[in-house]
Amino acid sequence: MKLELRNLVCGYGAKSITEPISLSVSSGEALYLLGPNGSGKTTLFKTILGLLQKKSGGIFIDGEDVSHWPQRRLARALAYVPQAHTPPFPFSVREVVLTARTAHLGFFGTPSRADEKIADHAIETLGLSYLAHARYTEISGGERQLVLIARAVAQESQFLVLDEPTSNLDFGNQVKVLKKVRELTQRGLGLLITTHLPDQAFLCASRVALLRQGKLMALGKPQEVLTEALLCETYSTSLKLAALDGGLTVCVPLLQEG
């Protein structure tokens, strides 16, 4: 399957935030979106998810314009993983993941045994079975982020939209989330992910899009897009890329010029 943006312009009210953006993400691919604060990443995500009306252009899934799809149908194609989420009540991890099945139920439907099995499988896939009956509000931030990804998996959507999934996580939990991102891509899901860390894109991205002031600066493979020149221009800062053993690349900021 393919999620495609064609000359999509996003904004609020009469104000356009982005210039026309054209890009696509296919099943089994992780497209990372990088850009400074205020570049339009969140606005773009909200428009893709149907939370904001597009200004112009189109959003297509397998060539079909989704602008007239009911929200329930869109939810069966797109799942969203926010940066953080804390429900007002102390639901268990299993109950939080099970809420994903709402997209597949009628208005007055309740989860069936089959829905429960799907939720349990998603929990197992993310390695969270030991937390299934724990209170979601009492587990660590990294574990919560994995639960949110499990909930998106239980939604059985073909595409996952992840908004800075490692934001505010310690190093160990960042690694756990990145490993699961890679595994989901290998399982054939299409992922659209925002991050402020080029290193993560080097590790996990199939392709990268650079966004600055609402303009798509570059789109392509990480090694083609994440160059020193483009990163310096995008973030208005000085940096160096360093090649490590094993073909790894890291981005190092320069705190002093010269």
Identify each DSSP E strand in the chain by its residue range. 2-9, 11-12, 15-16, 21-26, 30-34, 56-61, 64-65, 78-81, 159-163, 190-195, 207-212, 215-220, 239-243, 249-253
Q: How many CB atoms lie within 10 A of CB 114?
A: 10
DSSP output for 124-150: HHTT-GGGTTSBGGGS-HHHHHHHHHH
Whether 161 maps to a domain, the answer reads: yes
CB-facing half-sphere around the CA of 31: CA atoms within 13 A: 24
Whether 258 maps to a domain, the answer reads: no
Q: Compute the distance between CA of residue 21 and CA of residue 214 in angstroms, rounded to an integer.
A: 9
Q: What is the pLDDT of residue 106?
A: 64
Helix (H, G, I), strand (E, B) or coil at 111: coil
Whether 125 maps to a domain, the answer reads: yes
Q: Compute the distance between CA of residue 54 and CA of residue 68 in angstroms, rounded to an integer.
A: 12
What is this structure's pTM? 0.88
Domain that holds residue 183: 2-253
Q: What is the pLDDT of residue 14?
A: 87
Whether 35 maps to a domain, the answer reads: yes
Asked if 195 contacts 202 with a C-beta cutoff of 8 angstroms, the reply is no
Q: Closest Cα partner for 249 from 218, 227, 217?
A: 227
Q: φ, ψ for residue 79 (rounded to 5)?
A: -115, 145
Q: What is the pLDDT of residue 108?
A: 62
Q: What residue type is assigned to position 236 of the chain?
A: S
Please state the domain count of the chain.
1
Report residue 179 as tokens: 């490993």
Whether 236 maps to a domain, the answer reads: yes
Asked if 147 contacts 102 with a C-beta cutoff of 8 angstroms, the reply is no
Asked if 57 contacts 7 with a C-beta cutoff of 8 angstroms, the reply is yes
Q: Compute the distance between CA of residue 71 and CA of residue 248 in angstroms, rounded to an integer.
A: 41
CATH code at position 145? 3.40.50.300
Residue owning tokens 């160059």: 227
CB-facing half-sphere around the CA of 149: CA atoms within 13 A: 30
Report which secondary-structure segment, H or E, holds 18: none
Alpha carbon separation from 55 to 43, 63, 201, 209 (Å, rounded): 11, 19, 29, 21
Whether 166 maps to a domain, the answer reads: yes
Give the residue ranges of the chain where pLDDT is below 70. Answer: 87-88, 106-108, 257-258
Q: What is the pLDDT of residue 172?
A: 85
Q: φ, ψ for residue 124 (rounded to 5)?
A: -65, -40
